[in-house]
Amino acid sequence: MIHHIPNVLTKEQVIEFRRLMEDANWVGGKVTAGTLSASVKQNQQLSEQDPLTHALSEIVIKAIWQNPLFQAAALPHKIIPPLFNRYDESESFGFHVDNSIRLIRGTSEQIRTDLSCTLFLSEPEEYQGGELVIEDTYGYHEVKLSAGDAVLYPSTSLHEVSSIQHGSRFASFFWVQSLVRDDSKRHLLFTLDESIRELRKTHGDAYSEVMKLTNIYHNLIRMWSEL
């Protein structure tokens, strides 16, 4: 399932990120690509060792962990520290699938990539092209969100960033290992959680059906989680 996560960063935070990133030291984006995806990747990234990467990454991590929609959709266990990229005119990243296992920066710890997340740092009108195109069983979905918004989608999906025709596209990207590996199970839990929240709004927390469904929700997480 593809989720739009609005307002992960405030507009003020985005402006500050962009101010710092405009004068940053960018390197070729192939440094984090696998052998196959490197052949279709043409963009720029902040180095993983750059102090700016670490500083901005901490802000994104704090914001995303505190986002209730992200928590409900991802059921996160571990998050790979965010990276940052830019696409200038004629740059793109052709269709590829993300690596299934990745190292957490600066450690020997590996995590399974269940979910991929892109946090947009450019407004849609700042660039032409540059859509994130995600393939699933229902076809191709073009994603181009407001700065500060994020899209969360299964890492099993083929996806691309289409060629930039004009302007520059800045973004942060990272991967999540979920407590629940299977996307269809996460979708069921998310839908159940949404229903519980709507019932709470309408009937209050003491409503007996809220308690019953909450019990089912947590028991399903116990059954399906991999802790």
65-95, pLDDT tens digit by residue?
999 999 999 999 999 999 999 999 999 999 9
Distance CA(31)–CA(38), nearest Å, equals: 8
Give the pLDDT confidence score for residue 171 in this predicted structure.
98
Distance CA(145)–CA(147), nearest Å, equals: 6
The proportion of the chain whose per-residue pLDDT surpasses 70, expressed as a percent, equals: 97
Domain boundaries, the chain: 3-178, 183-224
Overall average pLDDT of the 20-25 stretch: 93
| CATH class of residue range 183-224 | few secondary structures
0.75 cut: is pTM over it? yes
169 is in an annotated binding site: yes
Give the pLDDT confidence score for residue 62 in this predicted structure.
98
Sign of the CA dihedral running 139, 145, 39, 55: negative
159 is in an annotated binding site: yes
| CATH class of residue range 3-178 | mainly beta
98 is in an annotated binding site: yes
